[in-house]
Structure 1
Amino acid sequence: MTTWGRDKRRDSVDERIEDAVFALMETTDIPKIGVGAVVRACGISRSTFYRHFDSVDAVVKGFETDLLANMHDINSYALKARFGQSELDPTPTMIRRMELLAERRDKIVALNGPHGDPQFVHKATILMHDHFRDRLADVPGSADYRDFYLAFALAGHNNVIQYWLEERPDVAPEKVAAVLNRLFYAPFFLDGGHVRANPASPFGD
């Protein structure tokens, strides 16, 4: 399988600590998760915990940083490809984004849950907004209308991802990638059900 992003070889203790924190997050707000509860769940000492992390919050932020860094790397690779009508099909980078989310599904659902980090969705939205804005920068038409379209499309993008991860994890990443690509890019390439030979912007002045 082709991969993009950072394949970080993690210490097994790091993984055990992270798993324990996210398991506790299912019922407990992050600020209320104590190191004592984490080390009991892991079967390690406090000193071992502090050799790996400064705090429980650092565990959560480390996961977020790594996930968003991987998404950024995938996006950077995607920007190197020529933007064209092939975007109507699920691209390898879009599929890889969905695979990455599927691989970390349980922790992402916990982050988005009532005890998770309310800032995570905001950070992820900014990352994807910047990527899609760059991706569509060479599409002719009004930049103002494009920005409004991006705000609209990203709201739907986030809701589709959330629905998939929380309610329909049985759907393959490739299928979700195809759905998102067509929902997101179709307005730029489809006209009456046919792909335009020379696509014009739907956002003309």
Structure 2
Amino acid sequence: MTVRILGLVGSLRAGSHNRQLAEAAVKLAPEGVDLVLYEGLADVPFYNEDIDAEGSVPAAAARLREAAGEADAFLLFSPEYNGTIPAVLKNAIDWLSRPFGAGALSGRPVAVIGTAFGRYGGEWAQNEARKAVGIAGGTVLEDVRLSVPDSVNRFAELHPADDAEVAGQLAGVLTGLSAAVPARV
């Protein structure tokens, strides 16, 4: 059985260290794990219940929901913006939380990881993302974590995939997340 994980990157910047961390996770995914990074979060409009009605859901939001509907689990990569979760990631969580009680996140395993310039590696933002995902109905894996501090210096000349310590930790995250996916019958 192949476990399908949808990765959501909370930074839109092409050279983002969280984007690099996500790329490393794709590269390091173990056999039986298919990690796909969702492209297009920048196109999803801010959540508005007025436009979230049958027949009027924006195409970009519908595509996000469709991709999420095909996933067995989710891996969120969160930088820290002003001590909290980036708006683009929160917006994705909002769209995936609906319809209430039956959104794409509902009952599915979710892990939140990331890197940031500060000495805590973005833990505040990651905790906020875990809180939002839990309220949205996702099954937050509290013990599957990775916060890489000092990203600006640590990844100045080294891609996360080439950092042995980070690569090992990413492999552990992917193994832990895929193990949380219930077996299909």
Tell me whether the two structures share a fold, i.e. TM-score over 0.5.
no
The interval holding the TM-score normalised by the smaller chain is 0.3 to 0.5
Structure with the higher helix share, 1 or 2: 1
Structure with the higher strand share, 1 or 2: 2
TM score, norm. by length of structure 2: 0.33
Q: Which has the larger radius of gyration?
A: 1
